[in-house]
Structure 1
Amino acid sequence: MADGVQSVDRAIDLLEIMTDLGGDAALSELATSSGLPLPTIHRLMRTLVLRGYARQLPSRRYTLGPRLIRLGESAGRQLGAGAKPHLERLVRELGESANLAMIDRDMAVYVAQASSQHSMRTFTEVGRRVYCSCTGVGKAVLAQLPDTTVREIVGRTGMPAATDRSITDLRTLLDEMAKVRDQGYAVDDGEQEIGVRCFAVPVPHAPTPSALSISGPAARVSFEFGEQALPLLHEIAGHISDELITAR
């Protein structure tokens, strides 16, 4: 990086490589992916371990450290604050509740919400964590990841059913991921809560896979509603993405 500090740049590269590899990596994998000499990687990883941004497992593999959780939560709150005006626009134009979520520790966590003004509406608390396999935002997030990572995530979390419509087996989930990638959006049709429907789209180029959604009672949030809402959802997701890129 021309104007950066080389050691900081390299340390961040190693953290991102571990993230891309599913959260942990051997020294040899870090060397292959980064192109850095092993002594350099060892020195940088030792510093990250001492600061709590990485851990070394008994197997000698390195994994992401617990101090990153605090950074991620703070970044999520800031992302939510910046996105709130966009969510409020969705509510004004579509009339239903809007949410922004991101993946964190294998779950989808809501980082911003704007509530519909209807007396009967959906409401999701900021900070709520849900399984990715049975929510619109969760599926839109998972679809941004390779199938190998999706397998690893659900291998750790399982796929418990929230309703009798929830996806509970890996093959069905992977087929759903292919569909979401192809059409560019995910649908939660009563999979998290009976009688509630949600349409969600990825937020492109977010530093952590994220998704934007509109949700409400299925009687109002029909599939025809979704067809009309999706162009605006993609537009707003693009605006949020542009702001994230500008802020980097």
Structure 2
Amino acid sequence: MATTGTASAPLTAVPEQPHSPAPPEPAPSGTLISSVQRAVRLLETVAGHGAGAPAKQLARETGLALPTTYHLLRTLVHEGYLRRDKGLFFLGEAAERLSSSGAQQKRRITVADTLARWRDAIGGPVYYAVYRDGEIELVCVADTPGHPAVAEWADFRETGHAHAIGQCLLSQLDEDARRDHLHRYPVRPVTPYTVRDEHSLLRRLERMRRMEPVIERQEYVLGAVCAAIPVTIGTTAATVAVSLPAHQADRLLPAARRLQAEMSRLVGSLTLSISI
């Protein structure tokens, strides 16, 4: 039986379609600096031996050739990242500084997070300060654009007599340390409401009751009131404070009481931060 069909179309070359660029390949391991990798492995291995370790043991544990291990160890000792004592290798001062800096940063983050929680709970900026090496040191402040911290318009260390934070810290010092501070930073007016002289300030400090908030109204800056709460951390004088606009002065004491309640649950975070 005959069949009817159509002629086959001639074959033509199909034009090559453009290709989208291939995704970049991961960087080959050859681009990594192998000597740095080996040095880091050595540091990590030494860190795992608190009592120190000899070069041969370190070479065995890191899988490095002994000549390479000796070369890296000499370099790390020279740079202060390792030290050698009686044939054993220990972490050096440079490595310990790195570790200390990392721990310090972690403590700062912990304190900042804690203050931020307290700030949100009371609806106002929160401050943390310590008295260290004869100076008032403002360690951390947590505020928001809606509740800004008081601007440091007069040197904070030199005007401790005028703000609640400084008064709270000075009240925790013994008489000699307090008088030494006031000798270096004499009482002087900062606003019309600032305590007028050293005698008046000392009398005020002596009347302050332990663990009671220290209240200051526009003594450091006009338009702001502040309450500072003493914090007992070993022998270090410390304080946590809150400030509010002067027109919200009626909120200050309730806010301070709320802050005390929050602190009683999380004061351990501040204890960890005392060395930051």
Shared fold (TM-score, shorter chain, > 0.5): yes
Look up the match of 2:231. 203
Is 1:186 equivalent to 2:196 in the alignment?
no
Structure 1 pair 134–123 and aligned structure 2 pair: CA distance change class (3 A): closer
TM-score by length of 2: 0.53
Which amino acid in the other structure matches residue 177 of structure 2?
Answer: T
Is 1:172 equivalent to 2:239 in the alignment?
no
Specify which of 114, 121, 127 is matched with residue 148 of structure 2.
Answer: 121
Structure 1 pair 180–144 and aligned structure 2 pair: CA distance change class (3 A): same
Specify which of 130, 154, 163 is matched with residue 182 of structure 2.
Answer: 154
TM-superposed CA distance for 1:199, in Å, is 0.6
Structure 1 pair 95–246 and aligned structure 2 pair: CA distance change class (3 A): closer
TM-superposed CA distance for 1:116, in Å, is 3.4
* Further displaced range: 134-143 or 148-157: 148-157
Percent identity of paired positions between Structure 1 and Structure 2: 20
Which structure has the bigger radius of gyration? 2
Structure 2: distance between partners of 1:128 and 1:81 = 23
Q: State the Cα RMSD in Å.
A: 3.0
Give unpaired runs (5+ residues) of structure 1.
1-73
What secondary structure, in the 3-state scheme, does the structure 1 residue paired with 2:216 have?
strand
Structure 1 pair 98–247 and aligned structure 2 pair: CA distance change class (3 A): closer
Is 1:232 equivalent to 2:232 in the alignment?
no
Give unpaired runs (5+ residues) of structure 2.
1-100
Which amino acid in the other structure matches residue 154 of structure 1?
Answer: L
Structure 2: distance between partners of 1:208 and 1:131 = 20
Look up the match of 1:243. 269
TM-superposed CA distance for 1:111, in Å, is 0.8
Checking the alignment, whether the CA contact within 8 Å between 1:159 and 1:168 is kept in structure 2 is: yes
Look up the match of 2:120. 92
Checking the alignment, whether the CA contact within 8 Å between 2:214 and 2:229 is kept in structure 1 is: yes
Which amino acid in the other structure matches residue 245 of structure 2?
Answer: P
Checking the alignment, whether the CA contact within 8 Å between 1:77 and 1:111 is kept in structure 2 is: no
What secondary structure, in the 3-state scheme, does the structure 2 residue paired with 1:159 have?
coil
TM-score by length of 1: 0.59
What secondary structure, in the 3-state scheme, does the structure 2 residue paired with 1:209 have?
strand
Checking the alignment, whether the CA contact within 8 Å between 1:140 and 1:202 is kept in structure 2 is: yes
TM-superposed CA distance for 1:203, in Å, is 1.3
Structure 1: distance between partners of 2:220 and 2:106 = 27
1:31-42 paired onto structure 2 within 5 Å: none
Checking the alignment, whether the CA contact within 8 Å between 2:141 and 2:149 is kept in structure 1 is: no
Which amino acid in the other structure matches residue 256 of structure 2?
Answer: L
TM-superposed CA distance for 1:235, in Å, is 3.0
Structure 1 pair 132–240 and aligned structure 2 pair: CA distance change class (3 A): farther
Checking the alignment, whether the CA contact within 8 Å between 1:203 and 1:238 is kept in structure 2 is: no
Kindly provide the CA deviation profile for residues 6-65 of structure 1, in whole angstroms up to 9, marking residues without a partner as x: xxxxxxxxxxxxxxxxxxxxxxxxxxxxxxxxxxxxxxxxxxxxxxxxxxxxxxxxxxxx
TM-superposed CA distance for 1:216, in Å, is 2.2
Structure 2: distance between partners of 1:159 and 1:78 = 37
Is 1:83 equivalent to 2:111 in the alignment?
yes
Structure 1 pair 94–204 and aligned structure 2 pair: CA distance change class (3 A): same
Checking the alignment, whether the CA contact within 8 Å between 2:107 and 2:272 is kept in structure 1 is: no
Structure 1: distance between partners of 2:266 and 2:202 = 27
Aligned residues: 171
Structure 2: distance between partners of 1:144 and 1:161 = 22
Higher helix share: 1
Structure 2: distance between partners of 1:92 and 1:244 = 17
Structure 2: distance between partners of 1:76 and 1:136 = 27
Which amino acid in the other structure matches residue 232 of structure 1?
Answer: R
